[in-house]
Structure 1
């Protein structure tokens, strides 16, 4: 038996999986995000731990026999979060999250200091990354910065509480702006240039390697026969890719989670200094990937459901089983700023084209399409960076909507496959990483692709309509940028 723990933005999800990839049990606990100022986004690390304990206690209460047989634990987590610890290992402040935009000025300064930083890190300086956040803390909270003894990413903080060890995997470390991504090691130059040091960093391991073992008291709490090993794990997207079996060059996926990711596994480290796309280490050895990232994917529909005083399911049901033409409205899904292709933390969302005749259904369709257009922006960026995507798997909570996946297929002009268990995401991949760490099995033996429920092919006539609408969509960003600058 193997456990996967996924520390997301909106919840912690734990999953129990057997040696045949059968999901025995799942449990989740919600998390809240604090936004004390515009563009800020924070969470209390203590809430992650409370939620993790709750999910594993629940699984143990229902499946004590299976929990006793657990051999390995894998971790998946939201990336980039700056969890600052003092010399005793206690948090100094709330964690600054991946979708926090306060460090824009620090990114400008990093770009001036290292114009070619993408060649080393695979990424331009972006406010979501960990390094700029620490520079912000140094400037605005100097007393806290002086006390920073360790910096951990969110899932590494969970590992620390589970095992007492400070360790991180390569895929998550790629999102700090401190990693030499090609060498898969911390960069002394980047750390020193950002007023940090290696001694403040966790030890690095591959995602499928053993990083630590579970504490005896927690082993006893959950009734395990012996302390299971804890794998290095992966950043949420890398772990989800492991769950999809996306470990070969050319494998691709579209993730409709809180944020959105267009993923492409690559044969090697493939940075592109001119575009805000990511080139990261994968969670398995000697493998890398590229990503285009949008900050508000399924969370755009969640926001609209709240504003419309309805549920997401009810809103989508109003559209019927298919759409035959684009909505007359355009929705710009920049609720938290945007990463790919704009790298703009200050831009904000908008509806365009509202009239006296506008209906709620048209607005809902525009939200689904606006997210799809943002993904197409990512596709354009990846294509310009030399990555060719011919088809992709749809994952994340939003992929449960066949209608939304069909809209995505027509906007992207790509066949998209819906998967059995596609909503499991990072937790399932984390369990696989835990299995590899415990058994020593190879990625090719463990990371088999899941069953494809159906493949939705784009419809040529609708693709043409969306091509025209996409041109209008792209013309709106400059106007919005002028309004929010």
Structure 2
């Protein structure tokens, strides 16, 4: 049988066709627009996602026996607010994970409701990108739209609804809404009351590997598939990527270098960082995880290359950055193009370069961008280490993980072994694996991961380079607190 993984990203949907044994038969990517109506805002039309999925699945399955497509599941961009009216029509464009308009609402939740109460209700505090602050923003700024809301959904779940007619959500993605009691895996009555939301406006909750429904006749006709195709709930993109990299069970670690960057630590036990610098979420394997998330990771390099240098030849720009340059750069970069989540929780933070001199080269600046992202990941890594979590190695995935230089920098900045897996299609592969588990090909997510995911190479830290980076990191972490007061001034 064949299984489809739908990786609904910020700039494109990537669709993956997988055989039951885990071999990838085809991959198709379809882009869609991203709009910025005001500074710091970020929106998309859910209809554009669906059109891209329809077009992409037709192309993905062209030349294959469509009757063999047994299941579809998802890895999706998290936190986005999709609101539907009583006829299931989209009320307004989705407000995305990297949208920074909710400073007032986030401060209200953290400072008036209180971080302690939020952590008690949901295991997390409010971040500007989370869904609950967006709901409060719509209530305050678009009351006519708020009054129309019949269903509140997340991005990937809108696609699942279009396939099944079922309003569903999985525990991992719902964890990032600030509406779910993560520990007890149910909607939080307190948070619903705070956000003026009724439970019937929220989707039904499922484990990521559970079937939510079958393909409707209308969707099957549109996609060219059959009504026998089962749809599994899927997961937030980071949890799906963790499945796709085999980061399941107890004590696994995965770093994702996508548009955003994450460090993901899987655990069989529920746990909360007392400072709430890391997110405490449910995992797609049925367990839990801690996650540090930075809003701009590989997107920093894309911005630097495309908009500033003006080149698409990323590898060529990294050629001059040889091993003897690692840990020797005097230029630092704060990677806060869209504000920052973990661990600073500051939507008003912005990127900066510091340390340039007359002999600074283009390569030094490029190196600083790669290192700045690695240092920011270490910020979250240090929080996990302070919790007593021992991490000796990690998997890595995402577009940035294709760079051998960036992998080497990550290994030395964190001073741990970085494992490269056979497939770098984290969320898409994870989605397909969840579909296979839902359809009974594997007894559990862990079994699927153990049989499908293969490590093909590793990068070990160099003690001398790691020591240099340790000294550089100590300087890096002094920059943000020093410039933090300026962000309020710049915003004003």
Question: TM-score category by the smaller chain?
Answer: over 0.9
What is the aligned partner in structure 2 of residue 25 from structure 1?
26
Aligned partners of 2:385, 2:100: CA distance in 1, in Å?
27
What is the aligned partner in structure 2 of residue 78 from structure 1?
77
Q: Secondary structure at the match of 1:72?
A: strand
Q: Secondary structure at the match of 2:26?
A: strand
Report deviation, 1:322.
7.1
What is the aligned partner in structure 1 of residue 288 from structure 2?
288
Please list every run of at least 4 consecutive aligned residues from structure 1 whose deviation after the TM superposition is greater than 6 angstroms.
none
Q: Secondary structure at the match of 1:100?
A: coil
**Pairs aligned (count):** 481
Aligned partners of 1:113, 1:325: CA distance in 2, in Å?
44
> Quick check: 1:191–1:197 contact (8 Å CA) kept in 2?
yes
> Quick check: 1:322–1:403 contact (8 Å CA) kept in 2?
no
> Quick check: 1:347–1:480 contact (8 Å CA) kept in 2?
no
Q: 1:133 to 1:471 in 2, by over 3 A?
A: same
Q: Secondary structure at the match of 2:27?
A: strand
Deviates more, 1:319-328 or 1:149-158: 319-328
What is the aligned partner in structure 1 of residue 406 from structure 2?
404
Structure 2 segments unaligned to the other structure (5+ residues): none
Aligned partners of 1:222, 1:197: CA distance in 2, in Å?
33
> Quick check: 2:166–2:213 contact (8 Å CA) kept in 1?
yes
Aligned partners of 2:87, 2:345: CA distance in 1, in Å?
36
> Quick check: 1:124–1:273 contact (8 Å CA) kept in 2?
no
What is the aligned partner in structure 2 of residue 49 from structure 1?
50
Report deviation, 1:196.
0.7
Cα deviation digits, residues 198-249 of structure 1 (max 9, x gap): 0100011111011011122332444445421100100001111111222111
Report deviation, 1:320.
4.7
Q: Secondary structure at the match of 1:407?
A: helix
Q: Secondary structure at the match of 1:174?
A: helix
What is the aligned partner in structure 1 of residue 369 from structure 2?
367
Q: Secondary structure at the match of 2:265?
A: strand
Aligned partners of 2:383, 2:103: CA distance in 1, in Å?
21
What is the aligned partner in structure 1 of residue 68 from structure 2?
69
Deviates more, 1:76-85 or 1:24-33: 24-33
> Quick check: 2:20–2:441 contact (8 Å CA) kept in 1?
no
RMSD value over aligned CA atoms? 1.5
Q: Does 1:16 align with 2:17?
A: yes
Q: How does 1:254-273 map to 2 (within 5 A)?
A: 254-273=255-274
Report deviation, 1:20.
0.9
> Quick check: 1:82–1:151 contact (8 Å CA) kept in 2?
yes
> Quick check: 1:69–1:224 contact (8 Å CA) kept in 2?
no
What is the aligned partner in structure 2 of residue 302 from structure 1?
302
What is the aligned partner in structure 1 of residue 449 from structure 2?
447
Aligned partners of 1:244, 1:327: CA distance in 2, in Å?
32
For normalisation by structure 2, the TM-score amounts to 0.95
Aligned partners of 2:281, 2:114: CA distance in 1, in Å?
19
> Quick check: 2:214–2:231 contact (8 Å CA) kept in 1?
yes
Aligned counterpart in structure 2 of residue 343 of structure 1, from 327, 342, 345: 345
